[in-house]
Amino acid sequence: MENNQNKAPKNVMEEQAENANFFAKVNKNVIIGCVAIFAAVLVGGLIWYFVHASNVKKAQEAMGVADMEMNDSVKAKMYKDIADAGSNAPNQRAKIMTAEKFYADGKYQEALNYLDQVSVSSDIVNVGVNCLKGDCYANLKKLDQALECYNDALDQADGNPQLTPYVLFKQANIYREQKNYEKEFECYSAIRTDYPAFMQDIDKYYERARQAAGK
């Protein structure tokens, strides 16, 4: 058996060549692994995209059919089924439509259950959603929660000349119910000063609130 001590020592060039071959193999394995991971992510992403697109299309088609339905009870059930089927944009609209139907039927908590599921990017839509939530809480005699919803709606309205006085009017009604006449007066003052075209008889409400607040 040949003694290891008798082997000629490797020169620097041989060691560098062996190291280069080793790292080349390592890098190749790393690259192969990364490519495999990227391919898996890409395939997963494509599957999600096409499934998502298919679901959106189905929901859009279902909403189109529901919108055309003439029977109100059948229409309401169709909207509810679509609302329960997902969270895409058409499903979100169905949730709002379902909540509106529950509200109209006096089922305020059921309406809130659907409104709490709504997630949209449009501030204008969110103003409507929060106003309806506030109305539900108001009918449930949860006035503080109603005011919170109206405050959110007011922030989202951001001075819109049609939406802002509408929300302020709702707030004023809640403050009057709470006998907070000072706040009621502030709401009507803001409408009267900044949005006088909102309602023709604003002076009547303003004067009533002014007297109640002792102004």
Residues present in the chain in total: 215
**Where is pLDDT greater, at 152 or 2?**
152
Per-residue confidence (pLDDT) for residue 125, from 0 to 100: 94
Over residues 97-148, the pLDDT tens digits come to: 999 999 999 999 999 999 999 999 999 999 999 999 999 999 999 999 999 9
Per-residue confidence (pLDDT) for residue 57, from 0 to 100: 81
Over residues 166-210, the pLDDT tens digits come to: 999 999 999 999 999 999 999 999 999 999 999 989 999 999 999
Over residues 21-70, the pLDDT tens digits come to: 544 454 555 445 555 555 555 545 444 344 446 677 887 888 888 888 88
Q: Within 10 A of 16 (CB to CB), how many other CB atoms are there?
A: 11
Query: What DSSP string describes 3-22?
Result: -GGGSPPPPHHHHHHHHHHH
- Looking at the chain, the whole-number percentage of residues with pLDDT higher than 90 is 62
Contact 158, 144 (CB under 8 A): no
Per-residue confidence (pLDDT) for residue 10, from 0 to 100: 47
pTM of the model: 0.74
| pLDDT range class, residue 8, cuts 50, 70, 90 | very low
Q: Within 10 A of 190 (CB to CB), how many other CB atoms are there?
A: 15
CA distance 64 to 92: 14
**Where is pLDDT greater, at 77 or 4?**
77
Per-residue confidence (pLDDT) for residue 29, from 0 to 100: 55
Q: Write down the H helix ranges in 8-107.
A: 12-68, 72-84, 89-104
| pLDDT range class, residue 215, cuts 50, 70, 90 | confident
| pLDDT range class, residue 6, cuts 50, 70, 90 | very low
Average pLDDT over residues 13-26: 50
Does 84 score more than 70 pLDDT? Answer: yes
